Amino acid sequence: MDLLERYLQAVGQYLPAETKDDTIAELRSNLMEQIDAREEDLGRSLTAGELGDVLRTHGKPEAVALRYLPQRSLIGPAVFPFYTLTLRRVLPIVVFWSAVASAILFVVSRHESLAKALVGFALGLWQPLLISAAIITAIFATIEWARQRGKLPENWNEWDPAKLPAVKTQASPDCSPRSMAKRVIDLCAHCLWMAYVLWVPWHPFWIMGPGVFYMDSLNVALGPVWHTFYALLITLLVVQLVMRLLAFVPAAQRLLMPMKVVTDLLGLVASGILAASSTYFVAAGAAANVPRIATVNQSVGLAFRIVFVIVLIGFVKDLWQYVKRTKPLRQMAF
Amino acid sequence: MFDSLRLELRRGCLILAVLAQLRDEHYGYTLRKALADEGLAIEESTLYPLLRRLETQGLLTSEWREEEKRNKRFYRLSKDGEAVLELLLAEWNGINESLHKILKHEE
């Protein structure tokens, strides 16, 4: 019987003090009854192994004790769906506003590099996310606590069918396939635009107009950052060309949205490279006005940082829409 | 898959069976044996905590008493338990009838 007492002691470790003795006494009584019945069947005392089998069948001490404890859940099944829905709606908004805040800080602090700003954003994101999740969890745990004690108003879970959104009569513009004529015009326009971008480096007049002669007179040339930007721009245009061609293939429609995210990302990287640079124009001769070039570079740099922030916000918005479309939130009316 | 559905199906029925069986007084071990004899086997680790929970809810009463030189905790249906059992049985019979009709349609 030493084994039985050891078993009961192990169960007792996990029971609340106020009910422990009573529960253990009842368990002992029931188990001894079971052991007696088994011994009566066999006509002899149980061996240590057989007693172990009885206890093993009865259950692991921790599991047995846990069944005697009241159900403990921070947020129960009635409230949990609302909790997860709120998390899924609020956390992306937190990410969005954190991105906006980081972008504004990046623009304002002229000395911070883009890479440093991005790393800072990524590393600092967990804090607002964790705080928001903790606040939401605390609110819903309070709601659950109040619900279990009947302290919520009777109509807390009521909803009004009249407030349900109207039936969508047509798919959103992003989802509806465009007409063949529109797709053809789009493809032609894009090809023309690509041809222009490929042609213009050798004919700068067609992008800068008379400004070319002004730049020549100032002895100013474009900085090396534009070479990197140009290579990225060509890559971006090629991806967009592929997208426009895929628009004619019905089976490839599902690839368009992820490809749009890729092009947005390329656009973000391209504008990021420009925003991160500080040298857009360089002196092309001894007669160049270097202090003036430095002032122009600073002004252009600020402009590109603002552009980068706008592109970043657009990218986060598109990415959020893509994620939302890929994993649609459960339709709920409340 | 089947096991979890089976468990779900049995959960409510077990409470009904335990309440019905406790119209007569039992202690844990004999109750389990009586249910098993009627074809409704139930694990000790499920039954004993269930008895405690039903007692906390006021559906059962219990008392410690010595029988065959051993202290045992005897459970019996309380007044509230009897009323709840009546309601549950009516519900159960309704469900049972409906299910029979539905299953007949399918035959």
pLDDT in tens, A281-319: 888 777 777 888 888 888 888 888 888 888 888 888 777
| Interface with A, mutate which of B11, B42, B44, B68 (most A CBs under 10 A) | B44
Read out DSSP for A213-230?
HHHHHHTEEE-THHHHHH
User: Helices A253-276 and A225-246: crossing angle, nearest 10°?
Assistant: 170
pLDDT tens, position by position, A166-185: 886 554 444 556 677 888 88
In this prediction, residues A15-19 reach a mean pLDDT of: 87
Backbone angles phi, psi at A152, to 5 degrees: -85, 150
pLDDT band for position A332 (50/70/90)? very low
**Set of chain B residues whose Cβ sits within 8 Å of the Cβ of A67:** 45-46, 48-49
Question: Is the pLDDT score of A97 beyond 60?
Answer: yes
Is pLDDT larger for residue B41 or for residue B106? Answer: B41
Long-range contacts of A57-60 (CB under 8 A, 24+ apart): A57/B44, A58/A7, A58/A31, A58/B44, A58/B45, A59/B43, A59/B44, A59/B45
| Number of CB atoms found within 10 A of residue A322's CB | 16
Nearest C-alpha of chain B: how many angstroms from A68? 5
- pLDDT at residue A284 in the model: 78
Q: A26 and B28 in contact by Cβ < 8 A?
A: yes
Question: Is the pLDDT score of A95 beyond 90?
Answer: no
**Contact map slice: A 13-42 vs B, CB within 8 A:** 23, 25-27, 29-30, 32-34, 37
- pLDDT at residue A2 in the model: 84
pLDDT tens, position by position, A112-122: 677 777 787 78
Q: B45 and A64 in contact by Cβ < 8 A?
A: yes
Complex prediction ipTM: 0.77
Q: In the β-sheet with B26-27, what is the strand arrangement from edge to edge?
A: B26-27, B70-77, B60-67
**Whole-prediction pTM:** 0.51
Return the DSSP state at A158: -
- Torsion angle, alpha carbons of A48, A49, A54, A56, to 10: 120
Residues in B lying within 8 Å of A, measured between beta carbons? 27-30, 43-46, 48-49, 52, 64, 70-73
Q: Which of B29, B30, B71 sits opposite A25 (nearest CB)?
A: B71
Instruction: Specify the residue for token string 């990410």.
Output: A95
> What is d(CA A179, CA A176) in angstroms, rounded to the nearest whole number?
9
Question: Is the pLDDT score of A334 beyond 50?
Answer: no
Whether A67 has its CB under 8 Å from any CB of chain B: the answer is yes
Q: Which residues contact A288 (CB under 8 A, 6 or more apart)?
A: A218, A219, A220
Question: Is the pLDDT score of A328 beyond 90?
Answer: no
- Residue burial A175-187, b: 16+ Cβ < 10 Å; e: rest: eeeeeeeeeeeeb
Please tell me which of A52-66, A113-127, A207-221 the model is most confident about, judged by mean pLDDT: A52-66
Q: B70 and A63 in contact by Cβ < 8 A?
A: no
Provide the percentage of residues in chain B whose pLDDT is more than 90: 54
- pLDDT at residue B23 in the model: 94
In this prediction, residues A20-36 reach a mean pLDDT of: 89
Answer whether B21's CB lies under 8 Å from B34's CB. yes
Long-range contacts of A228-236 (CB under 8 A, 24+ apart): A228/A273, A229/A270, A229/A273, A229/A274, A230/A201, A232/A266, A232/A269, A232/A270, A232/A273, A233/A197, A233/A270, A234/A197, A234/A198, A235/A266, A236/A263, A236/A266, A236/A267, A236/A270
Q: B73 and A26 in contact by Cβ < 8 A?
A: yes
**Residue A192 tokens, joined:** 């023309």
Question: Is the pLDDT score of A331 beyond 60?
Answer: no
